């Protein structure tokens, strides 16, 4: 009565489990098996290239909304430059997508190619620095690129566990040049937060600090 994305097989005998032992990562007596997610077909409306914290550009397709595993999907990851290049992905292609682990929508295959022109960006969509290609990666090498630094700050906040400091609030402070790198977070005060972030009052500012 509920969705599962796979199962784990194991030997039903304790002696066998003990004999096989462990790797540095997992017990050798167990094997994970993932089910293939439900798939659907949709049309690419646009391909957006997003800059990650390490400068690698990730292609994301905006697609015609389609119901998949009970969710309305409008954005699909295209994985990396190599996949876009290999399948010559472009606007108006009819593609097959699936929800990996019933969570992340991802591209599977091209069902019908469109007549639109194939396009790969030559400059960073944020800072316009010429991009470099290395194997399956398309990268912006500019360490001062705004998108790179915003993503780095967001990554840090998520991993260290700072709550209520959303990506929208980070973007607002970055645009106002209150923060530009991770260490700038530790120069913030309650007054700076209240004066510069929309909707942040005394209670929330104290909590954030």
**pLDDT digit string, tens, across residues 128-183:** 999 999 999 999 999 999 999 999 999 999 999 988 888 999 999 999 999 999 99
Two tokens, residue 68? 């998949």
35 near 4, Cβ under 8 Å? yes
Two tokens, residue 200? 């942040």
Two tokens, residue 180? 């530009």
For 201, other C-beta atoms within 10 Å of its C-beta total 10
Q: 88-132: per-residue pLDDT in tens?
A: 999 999 999 988 655 778 899 999 999 999 999 999 999 999 999
Q: 27-54: per-residue pLDDT in tens?
A: 999 999 987 778 899 999 999 999 999 9
In 3-state terms, what secondary structure has residue 46? Answer: strand
Average pLDDT over residues 49-67: 95
CA within 13 Å, CB half, 118:
9
98 near 119, Cβ under 8 Å? no
Nearest alpha carbon to residue 63 among 27, 20, 101, 110? 110
In 3-state terms, what secondary structure has residue 151? Answer: helix
> Diameter of the chain by CA atoms?
65
Average pLDDT over residues 4-21: 90
């Amino acid at each position: 009565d509920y969705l599962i994305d796979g199962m784990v097989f194991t030997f039903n005998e304790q002696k066998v489990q003990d004999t096989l032992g462990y790797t540095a990562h997992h017990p050798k007596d167990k094997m994970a098996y993932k089910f293939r997610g439900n798939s659907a077909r949709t049309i690419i409306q646009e391909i957006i290239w997003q800059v990650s914290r390490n400068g690698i550009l990730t292609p994301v397709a905006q697609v015609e909304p389609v119901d998949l595993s009970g969710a309305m999907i409008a954005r699909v990851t295209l994985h990396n430059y190599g996949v876009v290049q290999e399948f010559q992905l472009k606007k108006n292609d009819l593609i097959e997508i699936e929800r990996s682990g019933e969570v992340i929508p991802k591209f599977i295959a091209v069902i019908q190619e469109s007549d639109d022109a194939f396009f790969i960006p030559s400059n960073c969509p944020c800072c316009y620095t010429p991009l470099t290609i290395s194997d399956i990666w398309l990268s912006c090498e500019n360490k001062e690129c705004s998108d790179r630094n915003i993503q780095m700050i967001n990554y840090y906040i998520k991993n260290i566990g700072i709550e209520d400091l959303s990506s929208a609030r980070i973007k607002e402070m970055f645009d106002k040049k209150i923060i530009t790198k991770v260490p700038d977070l530790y120069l913030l005060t309650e007054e700076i937060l209240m004066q510069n972030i929309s909707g942040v009052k005394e209670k929330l500012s104290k909590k954030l600090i």
